[in-house]
Structures are given as C-alpha cells and as structure tokens.
Amino acid sequence: MWGNHNGGMEPTSQIIVALDYDNRAAAQDIVDELGDRCHFYKVGLELLTAAGPEFIKHLVARGKEVFLDLKLFEIPNSVAGAVRAAGALGVSMVTVHSMGGTGIMAAAVDAARDFPALRVLALTVVTSMTDSDLVDIGIGDGEGDGVSTESQVLRLARLAEQAGCHGVIASPQEVQALRGRLGGDALVVTPGVALPGDSPGEHARPGTPRAAIAAGASHVVIGRAVTRAMDPVSAFLRVYGDLQL
Ligand code: C5P
C-alpha cells in the first residue's frame, strides 16, 4: 500500500545525505564528489553554525534540495521567524520539536505557508532517549505505568499531524507503526539507516534503506556511511542501488 505513496519517486529524491561537517570546504568536497548523483542534502546545526547560510544558498543555487535540520524548540514567535528565514534560503525541509507542543508546531506550519516548497517535519522522541529518560523528565511516573518511548513517539506524531506538520522524523524501528497511523501524504523521513550489504538477503535486513522505504519511509537520511567512506561515490551508489532493486 505504501508503495503507492512513493510511487514514481526517483531514488535520488529519496536519499538525503547528511553533511555533518565543521567547515564548508569539507562539505563542498563531498558535494562535488557526489555531483549529479546526489540531489538532496541535510545541513544540521554544526555546519550551519560553522559555515553560515551562504553555503545553503549555494547548494540551492546549484539545484540541490536542502533539509535544514534546525530542531526548533522555542517560543512560537521565534520558531516562526526561524522557519521564515529557512524558507527565504530556499530549503525544502525544516524540523521542529513536537515536544514543544502544538503552539510551536502550528507557528512553524503557519510561517511555512509563504514558501510552498517548504515542509515542516516534527521530531518526536530523540533516538538516544530511553524509557527511563522519559521518566527522568516527568513523562510517566516510573511506578510501573511509565510511558514507553514508542507510545510517546506515536502520541507526538499524532499531535504533529493535528498541528498541520507535513511529516515526521522516524527511526527505522518506528517507520511502520507511524506510517500505519499517519495519513498517506505524510512525509516520514528516516535517519539511522545502515549501508546495505552486498548479498541480496542483506537488502531486506531491518535498517537498510530499502527496508525503511518498504516500511513506509518517504526519504532516508544517510551520513557518515557515505561521507566518511573511503569511496563516498560507491557508498552512495550502494544506497541508490538498494532502492532501485
Ligand atoms: O549516523 P549518520 O552519520 O548516518 O547520521 C546522519 C544524520 O542522521 C545525523 O545528522 C543525525 O541528525 C541523524 N541521526 C538520527 N538518529 C540516529 C542516527 C542519525 O537522528 N540514530
């Protein structure tokens, strides 16, 4: 069923390479090396802070799509301002923390309306958080009826949908459950995917790009497995080939 959701989307539009670098030159090198093969890049707080917005404008001017991973968690007025600034750079995706509540998500969505190509994606529970981290911050009481990270992810994803967000960020473990609960148009962007192995059986292994897309992801984000590979082009082509199978 979810194959329809992605029907016709070229693998190059589905693969987002994360440029987690502390300087522009290193990011530029990998963009040059991947060339026309890679169409979509994620820029996070590290590169944005180190290299500034000019590099993002440069990527957009070169015809690349940019996912600006701002992970916004601020008062609604400030979130709206940051989303407008992202939209003015020409980026395609920006992230907001759903844990900040409906107000900031709705402010982000509202601010994005002036930029028709801009999609607001909600982060749910940060993947490094455990059930006991949720108890520590007061979600669940730790007395046997604590909230699991999975149920918290689903709850926040529904909240994000109600607030008008265009999609969510989801780990490979969460994709299927989220796709089953969100509308068919929702974007489900999945980081934390592994480079596929070379044997055919390996491609269906949970956590590969192919498995994530099959489970309902609209996009996969891959970082160091490509950018820090001895041969980034062949690493990228393995991801591409995995999605073409
Ligand atoms: O691990 P990798 O280098 O592929 O990470 C690429 C991007 O995916 C990072 O910029 C990070 O924001 C995101 N990520 C994540 N959760 C993970 C792994 C990566 O959100 N478990």
Distance 53 CA to ligand 1 centre (A): 21
Which of the listed residues 221, 224, 226 should we mutate to test ligand 1's pocket, taking the one with most ligand atoms within 8 A of CB? 221
Distance 69 CA to ligand 1 centre (A): 11
Other C-beta atoms within 10 Å of 244: how many?
A: 10
Q: Is 190 inside any structural domain?
A: yes
Residue nearest to atom 16 of ligand 1 (CA): 192
Q: Is 5 inside any structural domain?
A: no
CB 212 within 8 A of CB 171: no
pLDDT < 50 stretches in the chain: 1-7
Q: Helices in 24-130 by DSSP H: which ranges? A: 24-34, 45-51, 53-61, 76-89, 102-112
Predicted pLDDT at 118: 98
Q: Give Cα 70 to chain centroid, integer Å.
A: 11
Distance 20 CA to ligand 1 centre (A): 9
CA distances from 85 to 47, 119, 234 (A): 16, 14, 35
Predicted pLDDT at 8: 55
Q: Is 6 inside any structural domain?
A: no
Q: Is 97 inside any structural domain?
A: yes
Distance 216 CA to ligand 1 centre (A): 18
CA distances from 98 to 88, 106, 122, 143, 243 (A): 23, 10, 6, 25, 29
Q: What is the pTM of this model?
A: 0.93
Other C-beta atoms within 10 Å of 59: how many?
A: 22
H/E run at residue 44: none
Residue nearest to atom 4 of ligand 1 (CA): 223
CB 76 within 8 A of CB 83: no
Residue nearest to atom 19 of ligand 1 (CA): 192
Residues near ligand 1 with C-beta < 6 Å? 18, 20, 44, 69, 127, 171, 191-192, 221-225
What's the domain count of the chain? 1
Predicted pLDDT at 206: 74
The closest-lying atom of ligand 1 relative to the alpha carbon of residue 191 is 8
CATH number, domain containing residue 156: 3.20.20.70
Predicted pLDDT at 5: 45
Predicted pLDDT at 198: 67
Other C-beta atoms within 10 Å of 30: how many?
A: 20
CA dist., res. 67 & res. 168, Å (int): 13
Q: Is 162 inside any structural domain?
A: yes
Active site residue 42: no
pLDDT tens string 96-128: 999 999 999 999 999 999 999 999 999 999 888
Q: Please give the residue range of the domain that contains residue 103.
A: 11-244
H/E run at residue 124: none
Q: Is 4 inside any structural domain?
A: no
Which of the listed residues 15, 16, 20 should we mutate to test ligand 1's pocket, taking the one with most ligand atoms within 8 A of CB? 20
